């Protein structure tokens, strides 16, 4: 198994802070907003009302119904609550799906740079990881042609992620149409669509869900959840949609591992989906302001250029002309400039030459971080010991 270096950077930044250093954290990918109060209250009320026992392993029925209504409202798709599985975070659906389909002698195709757990879990199962390069010149979107060219008779699972971590890339609808059309020639390949950032797009780059293609539904797993949309990362609450027989396998994996998701968190999830959605739009609008500031600032740094991300809350600047490799630069920025970022190679080999900055931090903190980075990168090379 591999690891997720964002957590190591989070720990390192916290340690430096404990030593009295002023660290600006653009490392970890989580909203800096508070969970909206009506959601918190629903969890508190559930506990006060005695809702603290085990629940159905697949999730409370009312919550699965709420997920089904949410998908109908947002995506215009019909999903029976019987196909929904509530998980302790969206990540668990990825773990289950890769465990189900990965085995020695098989291949799993996944995005690179991409969420590090894809590759980690693929290798854990013994399957061969087959990366699809996410290219800067393509706005870090999936290329249907390149993705399809990597499918072989050994491919069991194709992992898609749009809007994407770590790049902020959003795959346009026409490209998804082309990909889905091409997948008709590969009917035995399962698809895992990680849409955890589905409600975070900008510039009218509307999110196109794979759920919108009825021809895929018999082999499509949807991964989504509350973490990013409602600022609920630490609640550990996610949802997934599976074809019926696979959901039964996923249910067994749940029973054999975590039994059910924390009951109060599930009540919070009901309140989030059923309550007012204005906080979602308010957060998105604020992320958009920060996105513009971060991209503008990055493009002013010496040797750095950044394409404008169309989704999620990450910028993925190209640092190729700074003379630095990505991971040493990320370490030096943390140690010497007090700015936590993540080196692109932590997201795959195609991430070399890039840094990931999460702009889920205040505009003021982002601006201070950019000044520190400009100061650091503007120093003569000899002043930067490792540069």
Q: Which residues sit at the interface with ligand PLP, rule CB under 6 A?
A: 29, 89-91, 115, 161, 165, 194, 196, 225, 227, 233, 238
Question: Between β-strands 220-225 and 190-194, what pairing exists: parallel, antiparallel or unpaired?
Answer: parallel
How far apart are CB 194 and ligand PLP at their closest, in Å? Answer: 5
- List of residues 6+ apart from 4 with CB closer than 8 A: 116, 117, 120
Asked if residues 348 and 26 have their Cβ atoms less than 8 Å apart, the reply is no
Cα atoms in the 13 Å half-sphere on the side-chain side of 88:
14
Q: Choose between 109 and 373: whose C-beta lies nearer to ligand PLP.
A: 109
Give residue number: closest CB to ligand PLP. Answer: 89
Cα atoms in the 13 Å half-sphere on the side-chain side of 246:
21
Q: Choose between 117 and 337: whose C-beta lies nearer to ligand PLP.
A: 117
How far apart are CB 50 and ligand PLP at their closest, in Å? Answer: 27
How far apart are CB 361 and ligand PLP at their closest, in Å? Answer: 15
How far apart are CB 192 and ligand PLP at their closest, in Å? Answer: 10
Partners of residue 110 on adjacent β-strands: 131
Q: Choose between 88 and 353: whose C-beta lies nearer to ligand PLP.
A: 88
Asked if residues 178 and 141 have their Cβ atoms less than 8 Å apart, the reply is no
DSSP percent split of the chain into helix, strand, coil, nearest 5: 50, 15, 40
Tokens of 4: 């997720």
How far apart are CB 341 and ligand PLP at their closest, in Å? Answer: 15
Q: What is the largest CA-CA distance in the chain?
A: 64
Query: CA–CA separation, 241 vs 214, rounded Å?
Result: 14
How far apart are CB 272 and ligand PLP at their closest, in Å? Answer: 13
Tokens of 157: 């699972």
How far apart are CB 225 and ligand PLP at their closest, in Å? Answer: 4
Asked if residues 386 and 326 have their Cβ atoms less than 8 Å apart, the reply is no
Q: Find where tokens 């889920």 sit.
A: 360
């Amino acid at each position: 198994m591999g690891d997720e270096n964002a957590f190591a950077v989070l720990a390192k930044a916290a340690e430096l802070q404990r030593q009295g250093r002023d660290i600006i954290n653009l490392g970890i990918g989580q909203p800096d907003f508070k969970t909206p109060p009506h959601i918190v209250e629903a969890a508190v009320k559930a506990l006060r009302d005695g809702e603290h026992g085990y629940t159905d392993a697949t999730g409370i029925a009312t919550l699965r119904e709420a997920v089904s209504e949410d998908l109908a409202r947002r995506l215009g798709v019909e999903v029976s609550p019987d196909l929904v599985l509530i998980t302790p975070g969206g990540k668990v659906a990825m773990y289950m799906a890769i465990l189900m389909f990965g085995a020695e002698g098989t291949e799993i195709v996944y995005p690179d740079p991409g969420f590090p757990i894809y590759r980690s879990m693929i290798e854990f199962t013994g399957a061969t990881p087959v990366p699809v390069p996410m290219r800067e010149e393509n706005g870090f979107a999936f290329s249907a042609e390149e993705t399809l060219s990597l499918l072989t008779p050994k491919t069991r699972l194709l992992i898609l992620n749009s809007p994407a971590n770590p790049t902020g890339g959003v795959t346009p609808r026409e490209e998804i149409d082309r990909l889905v059309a091409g997948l008709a020639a590969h009917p035995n390949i399962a698809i895992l669509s990680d849409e955890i950032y589905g409600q975070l797009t900008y510039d009218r780059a509307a999110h196109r869900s794979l759920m919108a293609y009825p021809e895929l539904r018999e082999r499509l797993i949807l991964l989504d959840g509350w973490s990013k949309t409602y600022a609920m990362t630490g609640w550990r609450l996610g949802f997934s949609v599976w074809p019926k027989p696979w959901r039964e396998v996923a249910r067994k994996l749940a029973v054999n591992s975590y039994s059910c998701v924390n009951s109060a968190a599930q009540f919070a999830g009901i309140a989030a989906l059923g309550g007012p959605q204005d906080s979602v739009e308010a957060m998105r609008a604020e992320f958009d302001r920060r996105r513009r500031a971060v991209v503008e600032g990055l493009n002013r740094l010496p040797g750095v250029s950044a394409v404008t991300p169309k989704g999620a809350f990450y910028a993925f600047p190209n640092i190729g002309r700074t003379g630095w490799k990505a991971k040493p630069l990320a370490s030096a920025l943390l140690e010497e400039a007090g700015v936590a970022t993540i080196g692109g190679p932590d997201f795959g080999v195609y991430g070399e030459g890039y840094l990931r900055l999460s702009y889920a931090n205040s505009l003021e903190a982002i601006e201070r971080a950019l000044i520190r980075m400009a100061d650091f990168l503007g120093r003569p090379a000899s002043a930067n010991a490792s540069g």
